[in-house]
Amino acid sequence: MKTRILALLCLVSQLLAACGESDEPVNDNTEVTTETTAETQRDNIPEGTDLGGVTIRVYTRGDTNDTEFDAEATGDIVDDAIYNRNRTIEERLNVTLEYFSNTTEDFWGDRNIYMDTVRSSVMANDGSIDIAAGLSLMMPFLAEEGLFYNLLAEDVPYLDFTSPWWSESMINELAVNDKLYFASGEASLGVIKGMMCFYFNKSLISDLQLEDPYELVTNDSWTLDKFGEMAAQAYNDINGDSTIDPSDRFGFIIANENHASNFLNSSELRVTRMNDDGIPEMALGEEKVVDLVSRLSTIMSDLGSAVVFDGKTEYSTVFEEGRALFSTGEFSNAANFREMNFDFGVIPYPKYDENQTEYYTTARSTYSCFGIPITADKTNCAAVLEAMASESYYQVTPAYYEKALKVKYSRDDISSQMFDLIRDGVVYDFGTVFSQVLSTADGTGINVKFRQTICNGEDDWATKWAQYESAVTEKLKLTIDTLEPVHTNIASISIEK
């Protein structure tokens, strides 16, 4: 990452010099140099592997089936890449891929239907699901129930989790006691699309004569304190009614409550940390977490510095209309910002302080994870799953990340480099992925409790954690104990695969 920052320093210097010499705009389509990791051998599947023409049924979520998995060839660069990936897999392995899903407008209802469908299929041993591609938050519940194979088992071939098409940070966190029941990586485009970042309004930076965020990032000076200082200078009661309302100008927008959780990751903190034995332990009671919440409370409570518009449609266009200095977001938002009539930039979440050596982020939990039900043919499914990941790495990711995101959706050359910097710092932790399982006494996930504290501008995390700690710690212990024995609660199912 330090090499990446040095390259950014050079690029920022060059662009600043160019701006001083000419009023001509920077060419947004300048070719961007990217790192390549193409391998001589495409993946861990031997050439000539033939699965005999079987059909592999992949159960997806309704909101991702057409956009991540079963896209048609429409002429769109990403849709075509997904379509071609599927055809490549079918030809390579002599299989037919069949994607299917439930569709409902109720997101949480869809979640429950999804989990019930997997449960019913496994208990009936009907073979209707070969690969489960579910919302990351769903998969821990199904794993706890023993419905998936251990993907690290010696009798599950082909899967190579050291390859770049699997998320190394996620695998390291989810593999406890040499057991891994679901995983993710390039096979889910949602991983990259959901990587969280900050967007900023370049025009407001200039109008308010604030420091260039790009320079702050490359100089390792983009910190919580600097962020709070800049956000506090941007508020303007435009309509003069002495009331904070959607027509005002804001320093900071939390576009979605989920984004608040990422301040934990960006500050080099976690919901859980692995102990010396590789077992996750709760980490939300650390003194630094309490201090982080306190500092964010100051920013959130400062008049007009910040506003949360999650669920408040009247605030949903504040950034797009040029009335917010900073906004949280995800890589996917860049496509929505293309039509804005002002220039925007993208930067990572701020560091905790200047002593922190790297910028960190994570992906919002709306990405898909993949598990193989214990009633499926694990050999065939593992081959298809590895091919899905590798072919996505070679075909889908370049189409979306290199061509669409970094060129088509970016306003300047530095943005494309910032996307690289942010992506390099993506981390995961067991507690975040299992956050819905790790619930408090009232059934609310601990991650939800944490982000609500931030969004409400509250400065009492130490008190709250004292209330939550016992229940959540017990849930974590039960989860680890449940994942240890394999499939004990479904031993009555006859499996001959």
* Residue at 15 is within a domain: no
The pLDDT tens digits for 356-385 are 999 999 999 999 999 999 999 999 999 999
| Cα angle 45-49-51, degrees, rounded to a multiple of 5 | 115
The pLDDT tens digits for 13-22 are 444 444 444 3
Helix (H, G, I), strand (E, B) or coil at 351: strand
Q: Are residues 208 and 311 in the same domain?
A: yes
Number of CB atoms found within 10 A of residue 222's CB: 23
The pLDDT tens digits for 96-125 are 999 999 866 565 668 889 999 999 999 999
Q: Are residues 294 and 406 in the same domain?
A: no
CA 307 – CA 97 distance, rounded (Å): 45
* Residue at 333 is within a domain: yes
Tokens (6 digits) for 485: 């024995």
Q: Are residues 389 and 445 in the same domain?
A: no
What pTM was estimated for this model as a whole? 0.89
173 pLDDT higher than 70: yes
Classify residue 407 by burial, with Cβ atoms within 10 Å: 0-12, 13-18, 19+: middle
Q: Are residues 374 and 463 in the same domain?
A: no
Residues 6+ away with beta carbon under 8 Å from 327: 198, 199, 200, 252, 253, 254, 255, 318, 319
Classify residue 484 by burial, with Cβ atoms within 10 Å: 0-12, 13-18, 19+: exposed
* Residue at 231 is within a domain: yes
The count of domains in the chain is: 2
Confidence at 490, pLDDT banded by 50, 70, 90: very low
Contact at 8 Å (CB) between 295 and 224?
A: yes
Helix (H, G, I), strand (E, B) or coil at 162: coil
CA 255 – CA 262 distance, rounded (Å): 12
Report the pLDDT averaged over residues 139-157: 97
Q: Are residues 303 and 202 in the same domain?
A: yes
* Residue at 229 is within a domain: yes
| Amino acid, single-letter form, for residue 195 | M
CA 480 – CA 485 distance, rounded (Å): 9
- Residue 311 is predicted with a pLDDT of 57
Helix (H, G, I), strand (E, B) or coil at 368: strand
Q: Are residues 202 and 183 in the same domain?
A: no
Pick from 174-188, 237-251, 337-351: least confident: 237-251
Q: Are residues 286 and 301 in the same domain?
A: yes
Helix (H, G, I), strand (E, B) or coil at 199: strand
Residues 6+ away with beta carbon under 8 Å from 256: 310, 328, 364
| Distance, CA of 393 to chain centre | 16
Q: Are residues 150 and 288 in the same domain?
A: no
Q: Are residues 203 and 352 in the same domain?
A: yes
Beta strands in 68-125 (DSSP E): 96-101
- Which has more pLDDT, 439 or 489? 439
Q: How many CA atoms lie within 13 A of 64 on its CB side?
A: 26
Residues in the chain: 497
Q: Are residues 292 and 310 in the same domain?
A: yes
Please report, to the nearest 10 degrees, the dihedral formed by the alpha carbons of residues 318, 319, 323, 326 taken in order.
Answer: 130
| Cα angle 106-143-277, degrees, rounded to a multiple of 5 | 130
DSSP label at 437?
Answer: T
CA 465 – CA 472 distance, rounded (Å): 10
* Residue at 304 is within a domain: yes
The pLDDT tens digits for 201-227 are 999 999 999 999 999 999 999 999 999
* Residue at 225 is within a domain: yes
Q: Give me the domain span that covers residue 93.
A: 55-192+365-413
The domain that holds 280 is classified in CATH as 3.40.190.10
Q: Are residues 244 and 300 in the same domain?
A: yes
Q: Are residues 63 and 77 in the same domain?
A: yes
* Residue at 25 is within a domain: no
- For helices 287-301 and 224-231, what crossing angle results, to 10°? 10
Beta strands in 175-282 (DSSP E): 196-201, 250-254, 272-274, 280-282
Contact at 8 Å (CB) between 307 and 254?
A: yes
Mean pLDDT, all residues of the chain: 89
* Residue at 493 is within a domain: no
